Structure 1
Amino acid sequence: MEEKTVKSQVIHKGNITEYVLEEVRLPNGKIAPREIVRHDDAAAIIPFTDDGKVLFVKQYRKPIEQALFEIPAGLMDETDASPLETAKRELEEETGCRAKQWEMITSFYSSPGFTDEFLTIYEAKGLYQVEEPLQQDEDENLELKALSFEEAWAEYEQGTIRDAKTVFGLFHWKAKRDCGEAIDE
């Protein structure tokens, strides 16, 4: 099942991604091209408020020419020793909050057919506002909104919740509700 790299060429290296063209030898001996996007690992957070809502950030996504509601998330950087540190930093940067309780929910490759991005999703509870929170990234223009499950589901049905991590977060929330698990602990 393994594909052996025969040739590899970086065609572009950006701030977040690196684009690589590779030729690989398939198990049957044939050569095939692969277009790969190398991407830093990331972390996302499902931040539950004390009244059972979730904090979402709304931001414009140029590749799809649309504003989406998303759970807070961001890339690991050189200062982060773990995905949890990334999640804590991103929660504070994007919402101005920290959390008392953290639980790792899952991790996965976002789209392994063309990228190596690995995402870890956490649930955060016991949110509290920080007096002087970390600054948002310079190129971020975010609108913070706490949504009830019903409001978030309506956004999903309207097509403003569509990215994989947030859809996962919404269905995780739905599963918790369906099992009768209390969220506002």
Structure 2
Amino acid sequence: MSFPAELEVPVVDGADLSDVPVQRRLAGSEVVFTGRVWDVVREEVELPDGKTVVRDLQRHPGAVTVLALDGEENVLFIRQYRHPVRRELWELPAGLLDVDGEAPLLAAQRELAEEADLVASDWAVVADWFNSPGGSSEANRIYLARGLSAVPEADRHVREDEEKDLVPVRVPLAQAARAVLEGRLTNPGTVIGVLALQAALAQGPAVLRPADVPWPTGLSTPAR
């Protein structure tokens, strides 16, 4: 069946689709809550017709996620308790961009070492996304890490709090994708990373971007 002609929705070349940064005038901005990791900001934003609307948003430092893939195309997952959703989720190693001056790639390498006791020789970008753009500035990037080797035991990070109980497993990529599609894996980094990597590998590794490409859509990490 074709698309209903009366809706007059044009078909465009996918090569023309690209999100673009836009700076609309702020009539006001105030921090209404200061948290340990992120703040809540209330802003009055001017619309194109001159009217203004008030929006509350989470000002977030951004985060990185690592999809570590071994030579047999097994994905490394860690199980971690997430209190807001009252669940233990199977996740990819990930962490905040909360170290001043640390580049996103270095943050990803640090998180892989701290959460999985691994280093990787080959890095690429799988996908970028905004975690909840209607209410948060959080940008996230998933890196593909290959050429894995263990961090020497004497140099391993001492994990604390929820991270003390991390449980690592390896799962074939195809089986992980099936678990996502069946709704058994729900962490956003897991969902996006697994499905995006499967799509990328089907097209060939050349489709992946270099690990040092600029941060998503030119967005700088919001200052606290």
Q: TM-score range by the shorter chain?
A: 0.7 to 0.9
Deviates more, 1:18-27 or 1:92-101: 18-27
Question: Counterparts of 1:79 and 1:20 in 2: how far apart (Å)?
Answer: 21
Aligned counterparts of 2:101 and 2:116: Cα–Cα separation in 1: 18
Measured in 2, the distance between the counterparts of 1:67 and 1:139 equals 10
Q: In the TM superposition, what is the alpha-carbon distance from 1:147 to its structure 2 partner? A: 0.8
Residue 6 of structure 2 aligns with which residue?
none
How far apart, in 2, do the equivalents of 1:109 and 1:93 lie?
A: 24
1:171 aligned to 2:192?
Answer: no
Gap runs ≥5 in structure 1: none
Please report how far the alpha carbon of residue 7 of structure 1 lies from its aligned counterpart in structure 2 after TM superposition: 1.8
- % identical aligned pairs: 32
In 2, Cα distance between equivalents of 1:14 and 1:89: 24
Give the secondary-structure state (helix, strand or coil) at the position aligned to 2:190: helix
**In structure 2, how many angstroms separate the alpha carbons of the residues matched to 1:174 and 1:124?**
14
Residue type matched to 1:159 in 2? G
TM-score normalised over the length of structure 2: 0.72
Tell whether the 8 Å contact from 1:97 to 1:133 is kept in structure 2 after alignment.
no
Asked whether the 8 Å contact 1:69–1:160 carries over to 2, the reply is: no
Cα distance in 1 for partners of 2:162, 2:36 equals 12
Deviation for aligned residue 1:26: 1.8
- Residues of 2 paired with 1:139 and 1:59: CA distance? 7
Q: CA deviation at 1:150?
A: 3.9
Say yes or no: does 1:46 pair with 2:67: yes
Alignment CA distance shift 1:33-1:154 (3 Å): same
* Residue 81 (str. 1) matches residue 77 (str. 2): no
Is the CA contact 1:45–1:87 (under 8 Å) kept in the aligned structure 2? yes
Query: 1:144 — aligned with what?
Result: 168
Q: Which of the two has greater strand per residue?
A: 1
The RMSD of aligned alpha carbons is 2.1
Matched residues in 2 for 1:162 and 1:104: separation?
Answer: 21
Point out 4+ residue stretches in structure 1 off by more than 4 angstroms.
none
Task: Give the one of 31, 42, 58 matched to 2:52.
Answer: 31
Q: Provide the C-alpha distance between the structure 2 equivalents of 1:70 and 1:138, rounded to a whole number of angstroms.
A: 17
1:3 CA displacement: 3.3
Q: Which residue of 2 aligns with 1:104?
A: 125
Query: Which residue number corresponds to residue 30 of structure 2?
Result: 9
The structure with the greater share of residues assigned to helix is 2
Distance 2:94 2:128 in 1: 13
Amino acid at match of 1:33: V
Task: Look up the match of 2:4.
Answer: none
Equivalent pair of 1:156/1:162 in contact (CA under 8 Å): yes
**What is the count of residue pairs matched by the alignment?**
181
In 2, distance between residues paired with 1:25 and 1:80? 32
State the 1:179 CA deviation: 4.3
User: Is the contact between residue 127 and residue 196 of structure 2 (CA under 8 Å) also seen in structure 1?
Assistant: no
Classify 1:177/1:29 alpha carbon distance in 2 versus 1 (closer, same or farther; 3 Å): closer
The structure 2 residue matched to 1:56, chosen from 77, 83, 89, is 77
Q: State the 1:50 CA deviation.
A: 2.4
Change (3 A) 1:137 1:18: farther
**In the alignment, what sits opposite 2:216?**
none
Structure 2 gaps, min length 5: 1-21, 206-224
Q: Any residues of structure 2 matched to 1:125-136 within 5 Å, and which?
A: 125-131=146-152, 132-136=155-159
